[in-house]
Each structure stands twice: as C-alpha cells, then as structure tokens.
Amino acid sequence: MDEPKVAQKGPYTLELQPGTYWWCACGRSRTQPFCDGSHKETDIAPIKIEITETRQVALCGCKHTLNKPYCDGAHDNLT
C-alpha cells in the first residue's frame, strides 16, 4: 500500500463556496489541497467533499488525518 506524501505540515484554511471538491489524499497533486489526478500512479484515491453553503474549512495538508479530509492535528506528530 502506498503512503501519502506530506504536502505541508499544517492545514489549508480556505473559504469554500457551495459545490463539489476533491481533496488530494496522496499528497502528489500540484493543485493542493485539491486533486489533479496525480494519484493515478498510487492506490490512494481522492476524497469527495460536498459543500452546501459558503464556509471556512481546514483541510489536512499532511495527509495523515484520521478525519479525512479535515485537519485533526496529526501534523503535530510527524517527524
């Protein structure tokens, strides 16, 4: 099983408009924190996010959260 790459040690804090988004779970996307298809060389799939109203989100940047796609502070435990 492939391990995700750490895109950044901290969350991506964004205000998202209503819509569908795909969070990059592999860490390889050049359009972080969103998927650009780079995962196709791995066994890691992006996570679909449905936003129904404009809101602030903290999307995981280290890709090790247990609350995908949202940051849970897992980056604090990375070496």
Structure tokens at 1: 């099983």
Structure tokens at 2: 């492939």
Q: Is-cis flag, bond preceding 4, omega within 30?
A: no
> Torsions phi, psi of 32, nearest 5?
-50, 140
Structure tokens at 8: 């950044």
pTM: 0.94
Q: Hey, is 14 helix, strand or coil?
A: strand
Nearest Cα to 34, choosing from 60, 1, 5?
Answer: 60
Task: Give the pLDDT confidence score for residue 1 in this predicted structure.
Answer: 80
The per-residue pLDDT string of the chain (79 residues; one tens digit each, 9 = 90 and over) reads: 899 999 999 999 999 999 999 999 999 999 999 999 999 989 999 999 999 999 999 999 999 999 999 999 999 999 7
Task: Give the pLDDT confidence score for residue 79 in this predicted structure.
Answer: 77
One-letter amino acid for residue 32 of the chain:
Q
